[in-house]
Structure 1
């Protein structure tokens, strides 16, 4: 029951770290209480992007007449078949991880829930396991707001098990999860209402992007109700009834299904961390330093549970940071990472680094390059002109501070900006580059020829 290292959780960081430790001669145990693969494989990126792909096919099938493509008859959505395809993709990923563990003599897979007994021991299924080092990779779970305890609700996990399309899906939360599911189920045929307590969708983005997404959604027939404080939900016959406070009035909205997409909580409160030197912040995230080490010298925290990213790509980068300090040059650190992510709506929103609000709050003197998608030739040719592109440049250093793109393919060509930021080169490198025509990316150099002071925005 003694190991060189024990990893708790098989999300994006855990298996890669287990394989690296084993390759370098360590005896490793990896503990998993549920399905292998964590959030991404089972209820996150893998299944939802499979659904997004099906929803886009349905949308294209129904909306191609402007491009001269006419489909006679109804487009039928088979949610059961969509789910079966998703299940197959998820199962293949799980089986791949199972194979990795079972074929490595230095890795033991332990099924069950781990609870710390001390800095050097955990209990799983009544057995005690000891190790020199521990790596916590336990992920997060949906947050359930008060007032919804007594009704049947869906989360990002349970909604993926539906085999019939909801007649009217009410979504509480206008963040990335709520928007992705809202658009996909609207395209599957559900009536969709999205409720958000704020005054814009995607509250962490600049207001014009939230407004643009709202217009895109409303043009697709999705109801968006902002400034809506959800009070309670109750069952009323065959329907669910959600009471909301909106603009000083109480209203009721009725639907067949309710999805709660009101944020996520780290899976840290039942790990027995009180028996260790590990400390949590006021939101129950594990506190870590620049190398992802906790206040216990032999315990690290990776992935969603440390509150430093909450994305699959940041979890994998957490592994890379820890691995570099174990077996590499020890130069990778958390503070070197640029925040970047995408909302996989259609068209997608992609973001890296600072936005306008961040720059103004920091008091940085900057300029902006911007262009609406409606002025990009490739977008016109594709018939996908919704959205806009913005890039922010620091005046003194000429370095890129950040960018937000909303438009077709934005989740791909944002990497042009990400790579430039990591290269620590001035924006002029992109400005003077030659890009392929006709693409959306070719407009990035053109945009950067026309910088404007932020004050003119």
Structure 2
């Protein structure tokens, strides 16, 4: 049996960085990857999708050339070139991760599927290995709902649609959250007819209702059909046509994307053999320091249910490396969560929604400002959306914010950073930001804070 100081299962966002820190400290490390180096972000998530979003934005802006006094001819989209550009972004990043790991001194890369044979032992390709420290970084995959007929038709997920090199005639999207809406808008901008079908009463239900409504308006203004509150669905296929029945109504299209959430890759690891506990959804149970129920085993990234983003996975690595190697006592609960929805304009958000803040029972201050009153947005001709912030009326600490508008995914960091620093509204209000930017309106937004009316 091969012995190591540490074993890392999964070469997604957190794994390679942790391998780097551990080997730098002189430890002998094995990292195991069963499929593609780089994990979801590099291969089927952030990098290929945001490359596709960029291509869709370029097509959209080209069609709007006349709005800026720029005359262009007919705009066409070469989907093979679009797909090739996205795929190159992925291949370059994947290759960099693989080369880094395979060239890392003190790191042994093993390609294959790892399964526990005991609390500290694993089997890969018939080889048995052991270590006193094991880190699980196995990621997640698309969750497929139990819709009648779905298993009998060809459908796309986030993993397969990023390799699509042709334009659907009509893309039907089941799901109304982040992944679903990003693909819906990009394919509409590529030239496809698009219909979004969501079970819930509104899109992106974790956001406040005004954000959901504004996002729906943005999508519908671009010609995307949105159906919400659809509890009963059934899927069928006739020839090349895929149909989704919604009660008395039926929508038919050429392609179907299922984007209804994610599930962890924990069902074929032998976790029960090791005694590692999971919750009802299959996420590995961890404490505030990311330790599992078995001493000496930790879980990072999407598989632990404590964050579903690349940046939270990387922060898991930061927490573990600081605690294990630097004598720190960092906790997941100290993390202030921020994230973005990459439609255009994007939504950047951090902390609590107003609805979540109301549930705390504390007195609140709220302020909103439409992007039509943001100079930078007016100059760019991109005035859809609004800015919104909620604060504690007594402590003057910011509880959360959302910027739905041009540059919102970047501007939100001005608030996120101040929340991490524990600054009050009064302190941030007196910052002097650069003009003309979206961020310059943050102090103005804070200056307009008023008590939330019940």
Q: Which TM class, normalised by the smaller chain length? A: over 0.9
Residues 196 and 226 in structure 2, CA contact (< 8 A), matched pair in contact too: yes
- Which sits farther off after the overlay, 144-153 or 204-213? 144-153
Q: Distance in 1 between matches of 2:434 and 2:7?
A: 48
Q: Distance in 2 between matches of 1:109 and 1:11?
A: 13
Q: Distance in 2 between matches of 1:193 and 1:230?
A: 16
Q: Distance in 1 between matches of 2:143 and 2:442?
A: 39
Report the aligned-residue RMSD. 1.0
Per the normalisation by structure 2, the TM-score is 0.98
**CA offset digits 1:104-148 (Å, max 9, x no partner):** 231111011111111110111122111111100000010111121
1:84 partnered with 2:94: no
Q: Count how many residue pairs are aligned between Structure 1 and Structure 2.
A: 451
3-state DSSP of counterpart to 2:15: helix
Counterpart in the other structure of 2:39: 38
Counterpart in the other structure of 1:141: 141
Counterpart in the other structure of 2:385: 387
Counterpart in the other structure of 1:300: 298
3-state DSSP of counterpart to 1:362: coil
Counterpart in the other structure of 2:15: 14
Q: How far 1:365 sits from its partner (Å)?
A: 1.0
Q: Distance in 2 between matches of 1:127 and 1:452?
A: 64
Q: Distance in 1 between matches of 2:27 and 2:16?
A: 14
The correspondence for 1:181, drawn from 177, 180, 183, is 183
3-state DSSP of counterpart to 1:129: strand
Residues 14 and 316 in structure 2, CA contact (< 8 A), matched pair in contact too: yes
1:454 partnered with 2:439: no
Counterpart in the other structure of 1:165: 167
Structure 2: gaps of 5 or more residues: none
3-state DSSP of counterpart to 1:278: coil
Q: Distance in 2 between matches of 1:405 and 1:52?
A: 19
Q: How far 1:277 sits from its partner (Å)?
A: 2.3
Give 1:354-393 correspondences, 5 Å limit: 354-393=352-391
Give 1:222-371 correspondences, 5 Å limit: 222-245=224-247, 250-371=248-369
Q: Distance in 1 between matches of 2:439 and 2:328?
A: 35
Q: Distance in 1 between matches of 2:373 and 2:201?
A: 28
3-state DSSP of counterpart to 1:157: helix
- Which sits farther off after the overlay, 282-291 or 170-179? 282-291
Q: Distance in 1 between matches of 2:195 and 2:202?
A: 15
Counterpart in the other structure of 2:206: 204
3-state DSSP of counterpart to 1:76: coil
Residues 119 and 298 in structure 1, CA contact (< 8 A), matched pair in contact too: no
Q: How far 1:230 sits from its partner (Å)?
A: 4.7
**CA offset digits 1:210-258 (Å, max 9, x no partner):** 100111101100000011125221111220011123xxxx321100000
Q: Distance in 2 between matches of 1:329 and 1:352?
A: 29
Residues 230 and 242 in structure 1, CA contact (< 8 A), matched pair in contact too: no
Q: Distance in 1 between matches of 2:234 and 2:3?
A: 50
Q: How far 1:331 sits from its partner (Å)?
A: 2.6
**CA offset digits 1:147-202 (Å, max 9, x no partner):** 21111000001111111100000000000000000000000000000000111110
Residues 38 and 93 in structure 2, CA contact (< 8 A), matched pair in contact too: yes
Residues 325 and 332 in structure 1, CA contact (< 8 A), matched pair in contact too: yes
3-state DSSP of counterpart to 1:228: coil
Q: How far 1:70 sits from its partner (Å)?
A: 2.3
Q: How far 1:383 sits from its partner (Å)?
A: 0.6
Residues 87 and 163 in structure 2, CA contact (< 8 A), matched pair in contact too: no
Counterpart in the other structure of 2:158: 156
Q: 4+ runs of 1 displaced by more than 4 Å?
A: none
3-state DSSP of counterpart to 1:254: strand
3-state DSSP of counterpart to 1:242: strand
Q: Distance in 2 between matches of 1:199 and 1:104?
A: 50
Q: Distance in 2 between matches of 1:49 and 1:33?
A: 25
Q: How far 1:64 sits from its partner (Å)?
A: 2.5
Per the normalisation by structure 1, the TM-score is 0.97
Counterpart in the other structure of 1:49: 50
Counterpart in the other structure of 1:400: 398
3-state DSSP of counterpart to 1:321: helix
Residues 276 and 284 in structure 2, CA contact (< 8 A), matched pair in contact too: yes
**CA offset digits 1:368-403 (Å, max 9, x no partner):** 121010111111111111001011110111110010
